[in-house]
Chain A
Amino acid sequence: MAQTREHDESARSATFEIDGVRFGVREAGNGRPVVVFGDEAQAKALADGLATHNRVLAMEVFEAGALRANQLAQIAARAVTRIGLERFSVIGISSGSSLALALATLAPNQIDKLILLSPPRMAEFDAQISANLGQVTAPTLVMVGTRDRSGAAETMRTLREKLPACQLLFVYGAGRALITDRPDACLSPINEFLERGIEYVVCHESQVIRR
């Protein structure tokens, strides 16, 4: 098995290869580890917003060839181990939701929280992932924009039925590019969910107007 690793500590980025699959990792911030898969521009905006309280590792996958999402997830699980993460949260953006969800079914004990943004239609998920949804144990948050007409809302409803602890959140006025369409409206609940999981439904913000 050929493995290479090239470090660039100043930019906190690295690339390496496992079983012919090349990974790029950009890292920002400190705190709870959060692995992000999916759309580069969205991932960058997300990392910028989450890095205050989290160690965000935005992973890009290159040269995956004809691997199915489930096979790729097995390699990705090893890639995450190689980075040194034992337990972490994972965020999947758009098509990256497939890999994030696969990882949550393959390594449930390692996943702290699972967050999916604008997931694709269920038919686009690997059949094995769909069959294994019951194995996910992580508290899950699925977010979809109210102007997203791609079928993401239907996926969200299915996941709510099939996952053990799944919260749905509509982002008003946003399309598929949730993070860039309404950054604050996304970062706030994501940060809260990463910190508190399902208990993010409880409001602890003071409702006093003036003391």
Chain B
Amino acid sequence: MNASYFCSVPYAAEVKNRDWPTPPALCDRATSAKTMNRAIEQALFAEELGFDWVSVSEHHYSPRILTPSPMIFAAGLTQRMKRARIALLGPLMPLSNPIRVAEELAMLDAMSGGRIIVLFLRGTPNEILTYRNNPDESREMTQEGVELILRAWTEPQPFGWEGRYFNFRTVSVWPRTVQEPHPKVFTSGNGPDSVQFAARNRIGLALSFLPLSAVKQRVELYHEEAAKEGWQPTADDVLYRFFAHVAESDEQAARNIGGAKVDLRTLFNINQGVVDAVTGNRPEMREIESPFLCGGPATVLDQIGELRAAGVGNMDMSFVWPTVSYEQQLRSMEVMGRSVLPQIHNL
């Protein structure tokens, strides 16, 4: 089992406004710099604690996650982190030029000595508003973008691409990725169509914030669809992102999370009509009653064992929770690193 620390880069001060987009006037310029420096230190701390990966994501226009360009943050990490892999989970395809993404990821793979992992996503519902993409086409755009990037990384000759959403007459990516044929790639498998897409293209499956029963169901479907395509995924091909909180004891963990919930549907204040227009059927957009991993080290080890039994080989953990302070997050990471991680690598 690989453990990934989700370096979410939250704004390093409190912002009470939960509107999306959040007004830039509320962003203190000095705090911008402090946020980036603090997040890099947190990533280095995760590496020191033994996390296998540090992950970054792409989000826009809000203080929750300050990496509108995960590539730039990852570039900084490549020059400071020496061991752990850097996982871009991930670039948002509908918002991007896929060839530019292929080029930048190849640069990152070279800069990190071949330590890049990537998950291509279509974005949370609000993200589709960022550059005014059509939400009804975001899945198809993402899938075409992924196929184009895989082709750009592997074709030995310059080529053109006549797509539905992307059209290029000359593609010839330099530098090539250090990893051959390319960095490990995941796509979202929260919906059944996406599971089939991952199986058809022989790429990894990433799930996020689903209940364990749904994780098991998606992984089973992934195995069935892959068998139809003539291959057999392993646990290394499955990634699951969730909230985690580890304390010295179950009782301490329960006190820290304090009965708070996270409702992914209402994280932001957005005009309801707009939300209805962009959300669609997204099974991960739900209310989460407690972190998926929650408790003292022994309990958390059992929970990780269940996850492994469900076919998951990579877990990406966010230590952010509404009632958990920044200092408690660091402590939670530390308990995870010192008391849990040494025991999971052979799972």
Contact = CB atoms under 8 A, between A and B. Distances in A.
Contacts of A172: 144, 147-148, 161-164, 166
A23 interface: no
A146 B159 CA distance: 12
Interface in A181-211: 182, 185-186, 188-189, 200-201, 203
A167 B158 CA distance: 8
B346 interface: no
Contact of A169 (B144, B148, B160): B160
B273 interface: no
Given A146-B147, A172-B147, A201-B169, A189 B160 contact: yes
Interface string A153-192: 0001100110000011111110000000010011011000
Contacts of A167: 160, 169
A146 B161 CA distance: 9
B160 A185 contact: no
Contacts of B18: none
Contacts of B144: 172-173
B160 A168 contact: yes
A169 B159 contact: yes
- Which residue, of B159, B164, B170, has the highest number of chain A Cβ atoms within 10 A? B159
B164 A170 contact: no
B308 interface: no
A160 B159 CA distance: 9
Contacts of B163: 172-173, 185
A203 B160 CA distance: 13
B162 A168 contact: no
Interface string B145-159: 001100100011111
Given A161-B157, A189-B162, A200 B169 contact: yes
Interface residues of A, number: 21
A143 B164 CA distance: 16
Given A146-B147, A201-B170, A170 B161 contact: yes
Nearest to A169: B160
A169 B162 contact: yes
A64 B267 CA distance: 71
Given A172-B147, A200-B169, A157 B156 contact: yes
Contacts of A169: 159-162, 169
B230 to A, nearest CB: 11
A171 B155 CA distance: 14
B132 to A, nearest CB: 11
Interface string B161-190: 111101001100000000000000000000
Contact of A171 (B157, B162, B166, B169): B162
Contacts of A157: 155-157
A160 B164 contact: no
Contacts of A170: 151, 159-162
A189 B158 CA distance: 16
B156 A168 contact: no
Contacts of B166: 172
Given A172-B144, A201-B169, A201-B170, A146 B160 contact: no
B164 A168 contact: no
A184 to B, nearest CB: 9
A189 B170 CA distance: 13
Contacts of A143: 162
Contacts of B169: 167, 169, 200-201, 203
B197 to A, nearest CB: 12
A114 to B, nearest CB: 16
Contacts of A160: 157-158
A30 B86 CA distance: 58
A200 B156 CA distance: 21
A207 to B, nearest CB: 13
Contacts of B164: 172-173, 185
A168 B158 contact: yes
Nearest to A159: B157
- Which residue, of B144, B163, B164, has the highest number of chain A Cβ atoms within 10 A? B163
Contact of A168 (B147, B148, B157): B157
B157 A186 contact: no
Contacts of B162: 143, 169-172, 182, 185-186, 188-189
A192 to B, nearest CB: 9
A173 B164 CA distance: 9
Contacts of B157: 156-157, 160-161, 168
A171 B151 CA distance: 12
Sort A-B residue pairs by CB-CB distance and give the 5 closest, nearest first. Answer: A172-B163, A169-B160, A201-B169, A168-B159, A160-B157
27 contacts: A157-B156, A160-B158, A167-B160, A168-B158, A168-B160, A169-B159, A169-B161, A169-B169, A170-B160, A170-B161, A171-B162, A172-B144, A172-B148, A172-B162, A172-B163, A172-B164, A172-B166, A173-B163, A173-B164, A182-B162, A186-B162, A189-B162, A200-B169, A201-B160, A201-B169, A201-B170, A203-B169
